[in-house]
Amino acid sequence: MIKLEFTEEDKRLLSYGRFNHPHPRVQLKMEVLWLKSQGLSHQKIAQFAGVSVNTVTSYIRDYQEGGIEKLKEIKFNRPKSELTEHQGTIEAYFESN
């Protein structure tokens, strides 16, 4: 289990953010870290938050790397299509036909 020290301010921000942040993914991350700040095991946190233990570990590592600001980052995999570079040509073709 990863050991962390949480300041009272961080606990307060996590408690607030887990319900009030505008993005649900960030709310979930803050919920996981808030549960960690309450001393729960990774298994219990995963069970209560509805995520895997690996996800709990990933969120904790993000917090270790950059604190609460790192938790607010939203990363989605957005693959680039090979057609992107031809977008203008494709649009022009469909507009003319």
Q: Percent of the chain at pLDDT above 90? A: 80
Q: How far apart (Å, rounded) are the C-alpha atoms in residues 83 and 16?
A: 43
pTM value is 0.76
Give, in order, the Cα–Cα distances in Å from 60 to each of 54, 55, 65, 68, 86: 10, 9, 9, 10, 41
Can you give the pLDDT at residue 92? Answer: 92
Can you give the pLDDT at residue 81? Answer: 86
Amino acid at 6: F
Residues 65-72: what's their mean pLDDT?
94
Element of type H or E holding 18: helix 8-20
Q: How far apart (Å, rounded) are the C-alpha atoms in residues 22 and 27?
A: 8
